[in-house]
Amino acid sequence: MDKTIINFCPTGMVPTKSQTPYVPLDPSEIIEELHEAYDIGITIAHIHARDEQGLPTYKKDVYQSILEGIRKHCPDLVICCSTSGRTFSEFEKRSEVIELRPDMCSLTLSSLNFTRQASVNAPDMITRLAEKMKDFGVKPELECFDLGMINYGKFLVAKQTIDPPYYWNLIFGNIAGFQADLLQMGAAVREVGGEDHFISFGGIGNCQLMVNAIAISSGYGVRLGLEDNIWFDRDRKELASNIALLKRVHQLMATHDRELFTSSAFGNKGFYNATKNLVGV
């Protein structure tokens, strides 16, 4: 497609202020960064919350303060909150944010290893999260790091555990998953499907720029931000800011004559939460 989805991931669960001063951690920092990014142009905000010590948190009250701040300044922005299993294993903790009824929540479709940490996602956990999202009118953001995850997502589609439209994040460059290779990218896209399926590519670390460029030139969306990559250059001499990464993507879009898939247009495809004004109910 000619319009590019930009999935903006400013915080994640790993980067710290000691690693980079540019990562936004407290709610006010995250809100301010998202407001600036929204003015430049993004489609989806992928949110991770941190506690007062800067550590990942599942707490609903922290997420609520972030969501309310975003809604105040960016009323039509599509907001996706994390249900990651990298730190919290209990369903009650991982699913608490769903009760705030954001537009979307992340749904990683299998367990996987990162370089120093595992993200555990048992089949029962995935199904329960998907069912709770459906009950609360929240669309899943289907996160896939390998072909098996895509296959499990298609299984959930076939079982009608999740409903169309579908949004897929295909993430390349992780040591235990898809590599940033054209053949693997092509295989992943082929497996996803066609109508009612929206696809974005994400690249981890040094792969981010290359993956973003391939996605934009090929007509797919992009996932970007300090969650996946804290460096601006391949030699890792210059720390990136989220805004610098975002502006670079807009330059790539201009080069390839791609327009932004705006939040309002994306929401109108079925990714808006009909009760988004009821945050906190």
Convert the pLDDT of each residue in 108-122 to its tens digit: 999 999 888 889 999
The amino acid present at 249, given as its one-letter code, is V
- Compute the C-alpha angle 14/20/24, nearest 5°: 70
pLDDT tens per residue, range 188-238: 999 998 789 999 999 999 999 999 999 999 999 999 999 999 999 999 999
Average pLDDT in the 39-51 region? 97
d(CA 91, CA 89): 7
d(CA 176, CA 171): 11
Q: H or E segment at 262?
A: none
Phi, psi dihedrals of residue 218, rounded to the nearest 5°:
-95, -5
Domain coordinates of the chain in residue numbers?
3-271
- Per-residue DSSP letter, 239: B
Average pLDDT in the 39-64 region? 96
pLDDT tier for residue 280 given thresholds of 50, 70 and 90: very low
Q: Tell me which of 134-138, 180-184, 274-278 is least confident.
A: 274-278
pLDDT in the model for residue 230: 98
Average pLDDT in the 90-115 region? 95
d(CA 112, CA 81): 20
What's the whole-number average pLDDT of the chain? 94
- The β-bridge relationship of strands 139-144 and 44-47 is unpaired
Cβ atoms of 48 and 13 within 8 Å: the answer is: yes
pLDDT in the model for residue 166: 97
Q: In the predicted model, is pLDDT for residue 281 greater than 60?
A: no
pLDDT tier for residue 50 given thresholds of 50, 70 and 90: very high
Average pLDDT in the 61-75 region? 95
Burial class (CB within 10 angstroms; exposed 0-12, middle 13-18, buried 19+) of 255: exposed
277/11: higher pLDDT: 11
d(CA 169, CA 171): 6
Beta bridge partners, 79, equal 45
Cβ atoms of 246 and 212 within 8 Å: the answer is: no
Domain at 3-271: CATH architecture? Alpha-Beta Barrel (3.20)
Average pLDDT in the 29-46 region? 98
pLDDT in the model for residue 277: 56
